C-alpha cells in the first residue's frame, strides 16, 4: 500500500497570505489528523477528521482550519500567515476509530517570510 502523501512538500509564503496544504491518507483509512512541528514547540496536534467531520481540535487559533472530503483526502488552510507559522506540517492517517495506529506523511515545510 502507498503511504500517506502530502503536497506540496515545500512552500514559501509571505506574511498575510493564506495557504492550503493537502493530504492523501493510506487507502482505506478514514481518519486524518494534522500536526505542527517546530523546534520550539515540538509536535502539536491541530485537528482530526473522521468521515468528513472534525472530531477533535487542538489549541490553535481560528486561522487554522481544515476539511475532509468523501474520499478521505484532507486539506488544511492557514489564513493571514504569521512568521510564527513557519513549521513542518504533518498529516497522519489511521484506519480505525479512536486510539488506533497513526501513520505520518513526510510533511509540508512551510516558510513564512
Radius of gyration of the chain (CA): 13
Cβ nearer to other proteins, comparing 78 with 94: 94
**Smallest distance, other proteins to C-beta of residue 47, A:** 8
Cis peptide leading into residue 8 (ω within 30°): yes
- Asked if 106 and 37 count as a contact pair (C-beta separation under 8 A), the reply is no
- The rounded distance, in Å, linking the Cα atoms of 1 and 19 is 29
Among 14, 42, 53, 70, binds other proteins (CB under 8 A): 42
Query: Binding to other proteins by residue 74, rule CB under 8 A?
Result: no
Cβ nearer to other proteins, comparing 5 with 20: 5
Query: Binding to other proteins by residue 60, rule CB under 8 A?
Result: no
Query: Binding to other proteins by residue 64, rule CB under 8 A?
Result: no
Query: Binding to other proteins by residue 76, rule CB under 8 A?
Result: no
- The rounded distance, in Å, linking the Cα atoms of 19 and 7 is 12
Amino acid at each position: 500500500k502507498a503511504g500517506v502523501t502530502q503536497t506540496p512538500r515545500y512552500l514559501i509564503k509571505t506574511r498575510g497570505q493564506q495557504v492550503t496544504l493537502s493530504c492523501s491518507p493510506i487507502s482505506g483509512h478514514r481518519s486524518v489528523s494534522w500536526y505542527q512541528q517546530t523546534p520550539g514547540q515540538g509536535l502539536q496536534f491541530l485537528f482530526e477528521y473522521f468521515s468528513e467531520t472534525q472530531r477533535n481540535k487542538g489549541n490553535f487559533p481560528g486561522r487554522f482550519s481544515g476539511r475532509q472530503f468523501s474520499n478521505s483526502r484532507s486539506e488544511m488552510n492557514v489564513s493571514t500567515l504569521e512568521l510564527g507559522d513557519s513549521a513542518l506540517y504533518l498529516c497522519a492517517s489511521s484506519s480505525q476509530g479512536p486510539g488506533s495506529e497513526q501513520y505520518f506523511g513526510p510533511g509540508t515545510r512551510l516558510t513564512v517570510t
